[in-house]
Chain A
Amino acid sequence: MVTLRKILFYFFVVLYLVLCPLIILYALGYIFTPKVEEGFAKTGLMHFETLPTGASISVANKQYAEKTPTTVRNLLAGAYNVTLSRAGYRPWTRQIRIAPGKAVAFDKILLMPQELKVKTLVSQPFDDLLSVPATRFLLLFKSKRAGDVSVFDWKDETARPLLSANAPFRDAAVIRYFMIKKSSFVLFLVKMGEQTRFLGCQLDKEKPEVKDLSGLFRRGTPSEVRWEGDNPDDLFALYSGNLDRADLKKMKVRKNLLEGIQGFDLFRGKIFALRDCTLLQMDSNGEKGEEAVAEKGVFMENLFRDTGAFKIDFISGRTLCFLGATGEFFANELPYRFVSVGLKGYQPDDGGRKIALWQKERLGVLDFTKEARKKELFERGPEIDWIYEGGEAIAQAYFVYGTSHVLFRDQAEVFLAPVGESGAAAEALVKVREKSAVFYSDKTGRLYYLEPGQGYLVAADILPEWPGLSGMFPEFEAPGQEAAK
């Protein structure tokens, strides 16, 4: 037994000494190629994961037996034409460059069906569609008349009129609306003859309650109205740089809570406002005085050169964005100033670490999670990756399939562009009604839009059914899916 044990021990030691370097070399990508000029070569690999799975792979016209998800290994350095194909879906084609020892991973390839599956949800003609951000509600407009507005719940796919048949403001014209993320409270500014009224509406009630809140507002139109929470106690309205607080319970107004500000946001019970290159903070009840979070100085003066209004937005607990009236866009993270002019809108992801943003002609993605480039003299932070250029009038964008793709509306057509693939073309998906908005939910994987002919509300399946989608309908959609217009 002892002898056998010794023999086997040395056998295993030799086996280990032979296998270990071979396996490590193979794991690093080294293979032996029979070609004389190659000998031992360091190879690269490609990794593919598709939705739906089961796509066949062709690399440099060589068909592989494996289906996605899979890894194609032992590829010598060079460029390869790759096609993934699956019956009933559009082929996915790319030219991929392989470097020795490197892996090129496409782990969120979204295969689009040859023909999108479209379902009619409401067979009535509408002119426009508006999503109440991060809730399950869409507002459908047949005209500007308040009585012609319907509320569509995409969770249970039901539609109902916003106002009941005998509501007093049915004939008023909707001239403005105010909404915030994750709140099913909507504030409408309507006009009846020469008179303007403010109507507050809680959409998640079985019968939407409409309250006339006009007594809480000044004459004229506020540039912004904001509140915190689903069922707000206070509304904050900004009039020519002066902020009023309206207490909905006591029906009282405290005027000029803050004066001379350029914009504000509410976050965790506090008001954050910008005034003369100083970022202020104040309790939302206004009992304690204001205090400076970032004081005026060379840095702030350089940043806030524009003295006009700013839309201020906490997209996460750590990231604060500023969008100026001329389309200037910056944030409190390096390199601070991202767009100097012309930004039309932006859409953060659920975690607020990635933002899809667009100008009239191009669409980009800003990724705050990207690791800083090493060994650079200047600390730079992330840069916008412009993933689509040559648009005509980009108006909306949504992240799709996590943050792997961006779906966007350019005039009356919706496109899908992959993120992080420079040079990849955007795929045209559907045409929509002229001048009407669209809405996409990653939870249902559906695009909601008004079809161009009749103006019916329809839904197109963008994502095939996958485990992450079924049975996951929380009361509210995750924050961030705002249709910025």
Chain B
Amino acid sequence: MTFTYSREGLGRKEEFFQRVFEILPGATSWSLILGLVALSFWLPLVSSILVIAFLLGWILRLFYLTFFLMLSYLRLSLEKRTDWSERTRGIDRLDAYCESLKKRSVGKDWKTGLSLWFQREELMKLKASGKLPALSSEIYHLVVIPVVKERAAVIEANIASIAGNQDLCKQILITIALEGRAQAAVKEGVREIVEKFRGRFMDLLIVEHPDGIPGEARVKGANTTFAAKAAAAYFKKQRIPFENVVVSCFDADTIVGPQYFSCLTYCFMICPDRHRASFQPIPVYHNNIWEVPGFARVVETGSSFFQLIETTDPEKLVTFSSHSMSFQALVEVGYWPVDMISEDSGIFWKSYLHFDGHYQVVPLLTTLSMDVVDAGVWWRTVVSLYKQKRRWAWGVENFPLVMRGFLKNKKISLYNKMRHGFKLFESHVTWAALPFLLTFVGWLPSLLAGEEFSKTVLYYSANRFTQAIFSLSSLALIGTVFLSIWLLPRKKKKTSLIWTLIHGLEWFLVPVILVFLSAMPALDAQTRLMFNRRMEFWVSDKRRA
């Protein structure tokens, strides 16, 4: 379908729909919050009933999500010791490999047994589809690393971690997407790094992106798109077909493990619709996790948990942060959006609309690590975190584009339009409104109760119910605390049990964090979109010892 995934150059009718859908999320969030406050004043009985219905829904959802968080963690831990290179090579000789797998699970521990069972299922599906991939030796990787003000040490650590994927280094083309407006010192640093690693990879390119190309905004997507186009020319010259290339767009502070690209290659190969799919690893923020204030640790671990939960529902999964996809698909859809801040989720929706709904996100059972926001001083870190979350929440800019796309597209089923449209809308509204409703509005009918309402059974029941719900929610919180202790990397220095407990207690900051570093930035972003006040890309402050 021909649909320009942009808010620029619209006709009057399209402009009208664009504005309506831009206003809708913010208006809904504000209406929910203010509506319940108003109801608490004027119709406390109705408000109390709504609060009960809302809290019940929330606690059931919390248990549901916590269950899948545990399951997702379990699934991730099953593949912790998987040799992805061996699995990748196995697909090259599919029939023989399937036969050998049958014998292999005997006598293994339950984790390995389960992992092999999942693998066998995937191989069977691939075989049944008949859509066999190219040989693993013919699959290449393009890694695009956008740079604007990142320090050389951070970029170097990124490239060094990619170099750790020794089996595949010669199949990896690294393209550093360098902003033309970057300072000279940054440019010099990048050049030194490229010299240092030259020869280790298939190639290392620096593509300088000039400012002010017509139709572009000062956003990351414009930079990465420019670099990807240069890489396309490189592959063409090398006669490497685009369908054999997997492109990964990494943030500059990304660190991958030595098996990362093997895992990505395997997932690309095993996926029958590999050219209609993005590949999403679990982003964790472990690079400097023990060097940041406790609240920042909780915020970012929470983000990782959210992504872990999302991976259990690939039908609704959307790309986020560092992600990968078929280069052929990227070229076909016209690369990343060049006028949007949220190019990570934007590329998924752009592809979904372009391929008439035949596009999905495949979760990668591996992690990649990035930096937690750290501005040196705690209050600056709070401000930086706020801005980072607001930028993430600016992903709501996709909603009007997706809805306009859905209105125009006749090939995507109504069910899929409803499903995706509702999820996108609901997730943003929940993000902005839910913490406010939980923290404040839930208590308002009782606090603002007039004499008449305070003499009803409902007044007492609502209070009791609210208390019971919050007690139950602490069970989920305790589960999360334990999971965070298991998931976080070990400290460089050994610490006592007391410190472990203190790190666990940091999770009790969740109610404050949810309001101030999650809901407020989201509401801020939605309000800006509502009033047509666009945001510019803002690079987060990140430090590493």
Interface residues of A (CB under 8 A from B): 1-2, 4-5, 8-9, 12, 15-16, 19-20, 23-24, 26-29, 43-45, 47, 71, 73, 101-105, 370-371
Contacts and interface: CB of A to CB of B under 8 A. Distances in A.
B68 interface: yes
A28 B56 contact: no
A2 to B, nearest CB: 6
B458 to A, nearest CB: 5
A27 B52 contact: yes
Interface residues of B, number: 32
Nearest to B315: A2
A140 to B, nearest CB: 43
A12 B457 contact: no
Nearest to B54: A20
A43 B457 contact: yes
A24 B457 contact: no
Given A12-B60, A23-B56, A29 B458 contact: yes
Contacts of A45: 457, 460
Interface string B45-67: 00011001100110011011001
A24 B54 CA distance: 11
Contact of B312 (A5, A19, A24): A5
The 7 closest A-B pairs by CB, nearest first: A27-B461, A29-B457, A12-B60, A12-B64, A1-B312, A371-B451, A45-B457
Interface string B392-434: 0000000000000000000000000000000000000000000
A404 to B, nearest CB: 15
A16 B64 CA distance: 12
A23 B465 contact: yes
B506 to A, nearest CB: 29
B198 to A, nearest CB: 42
A27 B455 contact: no
Contact of B455 (A12, A73, A103): A103
A103 B454 CA distance: 8
A16 B68 CA distance: 18
Interface in B435-478: 450-452, 454-462, 464-465
A438 B324 CA distance: 85
28 contacts: A1-B71, A1-B314, A2-B313, A4-B71, A8-B67, A12-B63, A16-B56, A16-B57, A20-B57, A26-B461, A27-B48, A27-B52, A27-B458, A27-B461, A27-B462, A45-B457, A45-B460, A73-B457, A101-B457, A101-B458, A102-B455, A103-B454, A103-B457, A103-B459, A105-B455, A370-B451, A371-B450, A371-B452
Contacts of A4: 71
Given A1-B75, A5-B313, A16-B60, A23 B52 contact: yes
Contacts of A44: 457
Contacts of A371: 450-452
A344 to B, nearest CB: 30
Contacts of B459: 103
A104 B48 CA distance: 19
B312 A27 contact: no
A18 B451 CA distance: 32
A325 B313 CA distance: 82
Nearest to B57: A16
Most chain A beta carbons < 10 A, residue from B75, B315, B460:
B460
A12 B61 contact: yes
B240 to A, nearest CB: 34
B199 to A, nearest CB: 42
B456 A2 contact: no
A104 B455 contact: yes
B122 to A, nearest CB: 12
Contacts of B63: 12
Contacts of B67: 8
Contacts of A71: 460, 464
Interface string B192-207: 0000000000000000
Contact of A5 (B53, B68, B460): B68
Contacts of B455: 102-105
Most chain B beta carbons < 10 A, residue from A5, A27, A71, A101:
A27
Most chain B beta carbons < 10 A, residue from A1, A16, A26, A43:
A1
A28 B457 contact: yes
Contacts of B464: 71
Nearest to B50: A24
Contacts of B75: 1
B63 to A, nearest CB: 8
Nearest to A75: B457
A70 to B, nearest CB: 11
Nearest to B53: A20
Contacts of B56: 16, 19-20, 23
Contacts of A104: 455
Nearest to A27: B461
Most chain A beta carbons < 10 A, residue from B60, B67, B315:
B60
A105 B454 contact: yes
A382 B458 CA distance: 27
A15 B313 contact: no
Contacts of A15: 60
Interface in B15-53: 48-49, 52-53
A142 to B, nearest CB: 49
Contacts of B64: 8-9, 12
A47 B48 CA distance: 19
B349 to A, nearest CB: 20
A27 B461 CA distance: 5
Contacts of B465: 23, 27
A471 B464 CA distance: 32
A15 B52 CA distance: 15
B310 to A, nearest CB: 11
Contacts of A29: 457-458, 461
Nearest to B465: A27
B250 to A, nearest CB: 26
Nearest to B461: A27
Nearest to A21: B53
A371 B449 CA distance: 12
B457 A102 contact: yes
A101 B461 CA distance: 11
B49 A24 contact: yes
Nearest to B118: A1
A42 to B, nearest CB: 8
B53 A101 contact: no
A24 B52 contact: yes
A144 B452 CA distance: 53
A8 B61 CA distance: 11
